[in-house]
Structure 1
């Protein structure tokens, strides 16, 4: 158990470092953008709205162009992106905790297929989704159960890390340049509540989810002998 715990945290550190490697890191960090925009799209469809397109970009930004009927629906659609990413990170770690690593890869692949088939049309987005799907399918078919676990862990760590980083960046933007704060600015336009308030709510939820993941799903180091 001690060896497995050390390997887990070694892979955790490797995932964090991977996100900082030029070219490779930004490629895999688009995972969070894809999940975020999927949340907007699914919520739009839930409220019987229309999703016109999703765009994914190499700078980790993304957009979902959609329309819904009613102010309440627009508020929920704007609200859901950041919490959806952190909630999905929680689900991924829950599945990993129960040794369901194949389900993690299948979920990531399913969201990618959903975006590719129905909504993403910009060149980078299409190329990224195709490459990500091919990598995932290859992993499922050709790699061992254990290696799939580590791949799923890396993806989940990147999702959680970027979900946290994005809400903290949003908070900074909402203070320094509120009009550039994306979903928080959209929510201010819809509700009149300042961008900082929405950003703080997003950050609080993300930090709570991260804490819950660590407490529930991260392995504990064995006690040192005394």
Structure 2
């Protein structure tokens, strides 16, 4: 293989692209809000958030030295990540706490890449992450879900023109940033209705840390909202430079 061509391709991958049209960034933001806010669509798109949620548990399980066994994605858009190791302590706490902030932090990472013009990097990094998740998925629905998401990302990144790639990438970033907040709200509503000991991440964290579960829900909400604000600023900055009416 020609090392020169490999080096050239790698440099092309990392090279920043021009900022997209201002209207594309704003239109994708509105579309993301529709996908999150309109209930019939949310029932479908929430699966994307579940993949990111379980990937967050899995990643931090590995980073804290736990052994990752399986990821399961269910048709009701819930999920389960199974790891083994010490049942208490910092590793277990970090692993349990990583799920709800994960979509928001992933969206923030996307926003940082898009704000610097790295659309291609963002798309191919997504493929790598989905491939890593796929290795640990242990049920048919989960495998199909990850393959469909991966196929969509690959199709856009390989066959789409720059405008389509940018639109897809910005929609994904806006969606993750906005969508991360809704499961936290749903979590607290579910906790209000439950009777007896809870099984949610917040309830597990309460048992692990002896801190109120509500405090963990607030923590999730603060992280997600902060990521949304910062991520929006990163993606709108190039738009303000391109469109005089949006300049401060």
The interval holding the TM-score normalised by the smaller chain is 0.7 to 0.9
TM-score normalised to structure 1 length: 0.87
Q: Is residue 2:28 matched to residue 1:11?
A: yes
Which digits, 9 at most, give the CA deviation of each residue in 1:106-141, with x for residues without a partner?
222222111112x10111101111121122212121
Query: Any idea what SS the aligned residue of 2:180 has?
Result: helix
* Alignment-derived partner of residue 108 in structure 2: 90
* Alignment-derived partner of residue 165 in structure 2: 148
* Alignment-derived partner of residue 36 in structure 1: 53
Instruction: Tell me the CA shift for residue 4 of structure 1.
Output: 2.7
* Alignment-derived partner of residue 190 in structure 1: 208
Which digits, 9 at most, give the CA deviation of each residue in 1:49-95, with x for residues without a partner?
11121111232211111122252211111111122221111110111
Aligned length: 220
Q: Which has the larger radius of gyration?
A: 2
In 2, Cα distance between equivalents of 1:127 and 1:173: 28
CA contact (8 A) 2:29 2:171 kept: yes
Q: Which runs of 5+ in 2 are unaligned?
A: 1-19
Q: Which runs of 5+ in 1 are unaligned?
A: none
Q: How is 1:164-183 mapped onto 2 (pairs within 5 angstroms)?
A: 164-177=181-194, 179-180=197-198, 182-183=200-201
Which digits, 9 at most, give the CA deviation of each residue in 1:154-183, with x for residues without a partner?
112221122111122223333443844611
Q: Is residue 2:233 matched to residue 1:215?
A: yes
In 2, Cα distance between equivalents of 1:6 and 1:139: 20
CA 21–102 in structure 1, closer or farther in 2 if over 3 Å, else same: farther
CA contact (8 A) 2:181 2:221 kept: yes
CA 25–148 in structure 1, closer or farther in 2 if over 3 Å, else same: farther
CA contact (8 A) 2:181 2:225 kept: yes
In 1, Cα distance between equivalents of 2:59 and 2:133: 10
In 2, Cα distance between equivalents of 1:39 and 1:106: 18
Instruction: Tell me the CA shift for residue 102 of structure 1.
Output: 1.6
Q: Is residue 2:105 matched to residue 1:76?
A: no
In 1, Cα distance between equivalents of 2:179 and 2:24: 22
Cα RMSD, aligned residues only? 2.3
Instruction: Tell me the CA shift for residue 188 of structure 1.
Output: 0.9
